[in-house]
A = this chain, B = another copy of it.
Amino acid sequence: LNPDFLRQGRQRQASLTKPAGSLGRLEQLAITLSAQQQRPRPAVDRVRIVVFAADHGVCAEGVSAFPQEVTGQMIANFVNGGAAISVLARHLGAELEVVNLGTAHPLPARDGVVMAEIAPGTANLATAAAMSEEQLQAALSAGRDAVQRAAGAELFIGGEMGIGNTTAAAAVACALLDLAPEVLAGPGTGLDADGLRHKVAVLHRALQRHRDTVAEADQPLPVLASLGGFEVAALAGAFLAAAQTRIPVLVDGFIASVAALAATRLQPGLAEWLHFAHQSAEPGHARVLAALDADPLLRLNMRLGEGSGAAAAVPLLRQACALHNQMASFQDAGISKGQ
């Protein structure tokens, strides 16, 4: 990040009418946003939220508490305004785009849904590669295209929807971090203890099936193709494209963080563009955040995905900018400085 803007930002914070450091993390947020946006007065007024949706062949293994048809039903709910992310986007005055990367039951074209179908969901990652090399490239492209449509946004949030996608994300994280499924699998939308044990067993089978790919964990693309999901790969592509076009990213929960992990393995410089919104209740998230050296802003026990945890943190970024841009300086306000 531009050192001049970082220095200017620190100087400005030191001049404002408050004890040094007393706004805590809001101070560094504003300074970082200033350097990312390369302007002395950062802003996150224009927020772009893109929800990538796709189905997962691994649902054949019975790894989710919800039936697979919910992915398509939720796509409709997103654009009809009834989903959590729809409500939050409206509340924030943020732009919301929904990208359909492929559902098990093909959906009709619908106003407000970008149709970018790659296949009717991935293959079952427990028994085959989740996607081909071409499908992976298509998913990465879909993420890049979404960022191109977001030109001018001051913050990018990537959300996801896909019944079964905590299984895919856990598989990718196991491979990239060389950790066991027991550490990274969680209840997702609501598995009970038996369901979770079964999910762990499915993940063990998947990692065994793809052990040659897993051995090349410094090569995230084969890992994403073998074990990922279309929306996980699209998020990775979107994060990389956002950084290239200098749009700061606010990373959502477990699945978005796994995508961020894969993307930073591809391009370590990406890390400078990522803010981490929250720590999910999904137990694997803490491990993924630790691997990213990330200290998220919120810990509210959320675990919905869709970008909802990131949306919840947007006001903190906006408040950080307002404070940085609008507070009076000691000099202007005629206030005595401390020791």
Contacts and interface: CB of A to CB of B under 8 A. Distances in A.
The CB with the most chain B CB atoms within 10 A, among A19, A69, A301, is that of A19
B74 A335 contact: yes
Contact of A190 (B24, B322, B333, B339): B339
Interface residues of A, number: 64
B301 A82 contact: no
Q: What number of copies of this chain does the assembly contain?
A: 2
Interface in A189-207: 189-190, 192, 195
Contact of A24 (B65, B73, B90, B300): B300
Interface in A152-184: none
Interface stretch (A106-114, A242-250, A262-270, A313-321): A313-321
Interface centre among A82, A88, A91, A308 (most CB of B within 10 A): A82
Contacts of A67: 336, 338
A26 B313 CA distance: 12
Contact of A302 (B23, B303, B327): B23
B26 A323 contact: no
B335 A70 contact: yes
B87 A327 contact: yes
Interface of A: 16-26, 64-67, 69-70, 73-74, 76-77, 80-84, 87-88, 90-91, 188-190, 192, 195, 281, 297-304, 308, 311-312, 315-316, 318-319, 322-323, 326-328, 332-339
